[in-house]
Amino acid sequence: MKVALVHDWLTGTRGGEKVLRELARLFPGAPLFTLFHFPGSVPPEVEAREVRTTWLQRVVSPRRDYRSLLPVYFLACERWDLSGFDLVLSTSHCVAKAAKRGPRAFHLCYCHTPVRYLHDQFDDYLRGRGTLARGAARLVRAPLRARDVATVPRVDAFLANSENVRERIARLYGRTSRVVPAPVDDRFYTPAPRERRGLLVVSALAPYKRVDDALAASARLGLPLTVAGFGPEERRLRALAGANVTFAGSPSDEELRELYRSAELVLMPGEEDFGIVPLEAQACATPVVALGKGGALETILDGVTGVLYPSPGPEPLAKAIDLARGTRFDGERLVANAARFSEAAFRTRFLDAAREALFAAGRSDLADGLPRAEP
């Protein structure tokens, strides 16, 4: 059975790339199709793969905001040649789900979210943008949203990374899906005795992440804040930051683990589809303060492994930080909650869901060719 992996783009290691790493481990011979790739930006298991990019590879650069090229992404993805493959596995938050399979192939899409910036979170993505940028985005939104929905039939079966995303797939795409939560490496992210001090945000620096809420809340409370991540908002956030804020850039896995272990609290001020950061933090026995919407409702136990607050903004976040600092959390409960989402559990759930989808479609020939999950 010939398997192809499809991923939107390879520019850094976030939750989506950690899902892709697990699929690369399950299907070691599968080539990887993507719009563009910044070498050295993703896990070794992915970097070692045969990566097939599009003409966008000659256009994009880590030094520019590649998201501004969104209008041409749907054109570029048509260049993926998947005609020789039996099973296409896409991991998609943008156009990977638009991959065209061959006539006898099956396309299974692991959906991180329907395209946020074309649907529910359009306004959040425009936070802090100028009038011209907002106007241009509104002009292209409707045709791109229509194109996004028009490619949905190319997917034979959907998997969702959370109940939150399952509901959005049903509402926006009119399709059912089975939930397979994203994995956390709880063998690597583990507790260790450290002096805990200050607050930590680990996030792409994009408008909808609301990192500016964390800057304002930490300043109001007079607490040190470390921000780990990169993205188009970095310049604006640095201009807003006070002397209490340290920008840590893109830490290595080992450096990130140390940041989790030494933080008093990890903050997640934006609404996430699922969110791997809260689970990595909990695996390190670090409580999380998060906006009580989206995926946080599925990964954080309010009052047990963190604090959820009801509405976005610096003031509600500051109140939640105060509450969390006054709460006695049990580190073992935090670690146990993260363990529910282990990599081994992901592999088992993914393969079970894939077999179910293939058998339901009458493709037992492909279902029988799937690997068996190993501990």
Check if 3-183+342-367 and 199-339 are the same fold: yes
- Selected from 3.40.50.2000, 3.90.700.10, 3.40.50.10490, 3.30.420.40, the CATH number assigned to the domain covering 199-339 reads 3.40.50.2000
* pLDDT (mean) for 38-50: 92
How far is 126 from 140, CA to CA, in rounded Å? Answer: 13
Give the pLDDT confidence of 197-217 residue by residue, as tens digits.
999 999 999 888 999 999 999
* pLDDT (mean) for 55-68: 83
> Who contacts 346 (Cβ-Cβ below 8 Å, separation ≥6)?
19, 22, 180, 181, 182, 183
Mean pLDDT of the chain: 92
* pLDDT (mean) for 216-237: 95
Say if CB 218 and CB 245 are below 8 A apart. yes
Residue 136 banded pLDDT, cuts 50, 70, 90: low
Each domain of the chain, given as residue ranges in start order, spans: 3-183+342-367, 199-339
Number of other CB atoms surrounding residue 156 within 10 Å: 18
CA distances from residue 151 to 46, 225, 329 in whole angstroms, order as listed: 26, 42, 46
Number of other CB atoms surrounding residue 131 within 10 Å: 7
**Whole-model pTM?**
0.89
Say if CB 82 and CB 102 are below 8 A apart. yes
| CATH entry 3.40.50.10090 includes domain 3-183+342-367 | no
Pairing of the two strands 177-179 and 157-160: parallel
Question: Angle at the Cα of 189 (from 183 to 193), degrees rounded to 5?
Answer: 155
Give the pLDDT confidence of 262-293 residue by residue, as tens digits.
999 999 999 999 999 999 999 999 999 999 99
Give the pLDDT confidence of 72-96 residue by residue, as tens digits.
999 999 999 999 999 999 999 999 9
